[in-house]
Amino acid sequence: MRHVVWLFLFVAAVGAMWWAGLKALAVLVTVVCGLAGVASLVVRSRRPSPLLRPEPERDRHAVERYIPPGG
């Protein structure tokens, strides 16, 4: 949900720059933020998802066993 708020603020800011006659700055901000967003998606896709990480293997040999004396 935070992404929607940031998107709304970004569109409002770029619209204000465009309306104020700063069209070159509005385009520059849009391009830079777009490239940062794409880079973020690329970096995120390279890291394994926490849901897909293998569980740490349990030590099955560290179990204490009861061995009766003289058995």
Is 34 a domain residue? yes
Is 64 a domain residue? no
CA distance 59 to 7: 48
Tens digit of each residue's pLDDT (9 = 90 or more) over 6-55: 788 888 888 898 889 889 999 998 899 888 888 888 887 776 666 666 66
Q: Report the pLDDT averaged over residues 60-64.
A: 68
User: And the tokens for 50?
Assistant: 């926490």
Q: At what angle do helices 2-19 and 23-46 cross, to 10 degrees?
A: 160
Residue 10, domain extent: 2-46
Is 63 a domain residue? no
User: And the tokens for 2?
Assistant: 């935070």
Number of structural domains, the chain? 1
Is 40 a domain residue? yes
Identify the pLDDT of residue 41. Answer: 80
Where residue 4 falls among pLDDT bands split at 50, 70, 90? Answer: confident
